[in-house]
Amino acid sequence: MGYISFAPGQVDVKDMHQFIIGAISPRPIAFVSTVNEEGVNNLAPYSFFNALSSNPPMLAFSCNLRPGENLEKDTLKNIKAHGECVVNMVNEDILHQMAITSVEFPAGVSEFEKSGLTPLASEKVAPFRVQESPVQIECTVHDIIVLGNHPGASNLVLCDIIKMHVNKNVMDAQLRRIDPQKLQVVGRLGRSNYIKVKGEHVIEMYQPVRPICIGFDSLPTQIQRSRFFTGNDLGKLASLLTLPNEQDVRKYMEVENISGHRDVEYYHRRAKSLLDRNLKEHAIKMAMIAELSH
């Protein structure tokens, strides 16, 4: 496998930007609303954005400087002046309206009016929320970290979350958790590409935190080296809490009426089919029949 390798400074700044946003993706979009000193609400999208902490609840987004004399974008100016913002999440329903707000309109022009999105009064801060957004997060600014003073350099805005508003339509039946299939958030990729997070793009996978899983190194060597299993397949098997013993495997053979007189590839091929259906407890026993027979 070949690689293109380079250090910052060895490629053009524009190319470096595209490599970064192309590789570190998808990224959620912070649709940030702020208000200026005249009371005009500003709205702009930023994809260098993520959650920082849940306790204390914090998020961060990065606002870069423009080329020319007027380096600071309206978002940054407003945040410095008032120390408040609302981060609105973007789904497919408002994607194209969001794109309009990335246009450099003159200062004092409200992107709410240009995009046709509906301003909704916040409860804790002055900037409006976007009514059409499925999740609106009211924030106060914790800190602004200056990463440079040249055009294109970024200011990392750290925000304390002081209130969240989640549309009931994107929550589960118990109104306890956000359902990603209902939220259908949009993520930013490289160049002019976006992704809709829904359908088969949402993968449910429980992470083995406690109790401790067996790990890759506990899998039989024959299984580790099998040509039928990908790294993801082995990861599923490694997430098991225990490895079946000989008695477990023989009982499985009896219940499933499986002969132990086939070659290794036969059992590994069948185990792979079980893994594709996320039946990892069955798959490990199927694969380990080969351990008994060979």
Place of tokens 């002969």: 259
Which pLDDT band holds residue 260 (cuts at 50, 70, 90)?
confident
Instruction: Kindly report, residue by residue over 217-234, the tens digit of the pLDDT.
Output: 999 999 999 999 999 999
User: What 3 state SS string does 175-209 have?
Assistant: CCCECHHHHCEEEECCCCCEEECCHHHCCCCCCCC
CA terminus-to-terminus distance, the chain: 34
Is the pTM here over 0.95, yes or no?
no
For residue 69, name the pLDDT band (cuts at 50, 70, 90).
Answer: low
Integer Cα distance of 199 and 31 in angstroms = 23
- Residues 275-293 have a mean pLDDT of 92
| List of domains in the chain | 13-201 (2.30.110.10), 216-293 (no CATH)
Mean pLDDT of 66-79: 84
Q: What is the pLDDT of residue 269?
A: 96
Q: Centre a 10 Å sphere on the Cβ of residue 126 and count the other Cβ atoms it contains.
A: 18
Encoding tokens for residue 74?
């309206």
Nearest one of 163, 156, 134 to 57, comparing CA atoms: 163
- Tokens 């995009």 locate to 115
What does the pLDDT read at residue 68? 67
pLDDT at 207 over 80: no
Q: In this predicted model, which residue has the larger pLDDT, 57 or 67?
A: 57
Mean pLDDT check: name the lowest of 66-75, 238-247, 280-289. 66-75
User: CA–CA separation, 258 vs 292, rounded Å?
Assistant: 13
Rounded distance, CA 97 to CA 116, Å? 7
Work out the mean pLDDT of the chain and round it to a whole number: 93
- Mean pLDDT, rounded, for 183-198: 94
Better-predicted residue by pLDDT, 104 or 34: 34
- pLDDT score of 293: 63
Q: How confident is the model at residue 212 (pLDDT cuts 50, 70, 90)?
A: confident
d(CA 249, CA 283): 11
For 150-168, what is each residue's pLDDT tens digit?
Answer: 878 899 999 999 999 999 9
What contacts 241, CB < 8 A, 6 or more positions away? 208, 211, 212, 213, 214
Give percent above pLDDT 70 in the chain.
97
In angstroms, the CA 250 to CA 256 distance is 10
Residue 210: what pLDDT?
A: 66
Question: Would you say residue 216 has pLDDT above 80?
Answer: yes
Please determine, for residue 294, whether its predicted confidence score (pLDDT) is greater than 70.
no
What are the pLDDT digits (tens) for 79-124? Answer: 999 999 999 999 999 999 999 999 988 888 899 999 999 999 999 9
Do residues 47 and 32 make contact, with C-beta atoms less than 8 angstroms apart? no
Reply yes or no on whether the pLDDT at 209 is more than 70: no
Structure tokens at 102: 């990335």
Three-state SS string over the chain comes to: CCCCCCCCCCCCHHHHHHHHHHHCCCEECEEEEEECCCCCEEEEEECCEEEEEECCEEEEEEEECCCCCCCCCHHHHHHHHHCEEEEECCEHHHHHHHHHCCCCCCCCCCHHHHHCCCEECCCCCCCCEECCCCEEEEEEEEEEEECCCCCCCEEEEEEEEEEEEECHHHECCCCCCECHHHHCEEEECCCCCEEECCHHHCCCCCCCCCCCCCCHHHCCHHHHCCCCCCHHHHHHHHCCCCCCCHHHHHHHHHHHCCCCCCCHHHHHHHHHHHHHCCCHHHHHHHHHHHHHHC
